[in-house]
């Protein structure tokens, strides 16, 4: 699995935000800049080490607004839930 890059959807693995999805909006000093469109908006991204993140979905289009970020994360959560269900044997 490749390292997260800008516009990817990632899952936080550590910290008080563990288990939460974010969109990578950039990189600075070897750290990822993360937004979720609610608590962390585009104007004020969270900086986090890539080793505490797991790639969930690859992105290719830069989100223009916080609403776009929320929409991307909702779709990614649905896809992740479907994959998880299939892994657990649900039909």
Give the pLDDT means over successive 10-residue stretches in the chain (91 positions): 88 90 94 95 94 89 92 88 61 48
pLDDT for residue 85:
63
User: Would 63 be classed as within a structural domain?
Assistant: yes
State how many domains the chain has. 1
Q: Say if 75 falls within a structural domain.
A: yes
Would you state the pLDDT for residue 49?
94
Residue 31 CA to residue 17 CA, distance in Å, equals 16
Q: How far is CA 19 from the centre of its chain?
A: 10
Beta carbons within 8 Å of 21's beta carbon, 6+ residues apart: 9, 10, 11, 12, 36, 56, 73, 76, 77, 80
pTM of the complete model: 0.85
Residue 29 domain flag: yes
Q: Encoding tokens for residue 50?
A: 């890539």
Instruction: Establish if 38 belongs to a structural domain.
Output: yes
Residue at 3 is within a domain: no
């Amino acid at each position: 699995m490749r390292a997260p890059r800008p516009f990817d959807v990632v899952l936080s693995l550590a910290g008080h935000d563990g288990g939460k999805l974010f969109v990578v909006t950039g990189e600075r000093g070897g750290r990822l800049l993360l937004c979720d469109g609610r608590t962390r908006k585009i104007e004020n991204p969270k900086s986090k080490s890539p080793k505490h993140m797991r790639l969930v979905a690859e992105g290719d289009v830069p989100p223009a607004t916080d609403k776009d970020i929320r929409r991307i994360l909702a779709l990614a959560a649905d896809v992740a839930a479907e994959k998880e269900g299939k892994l657990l044997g649900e039909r």
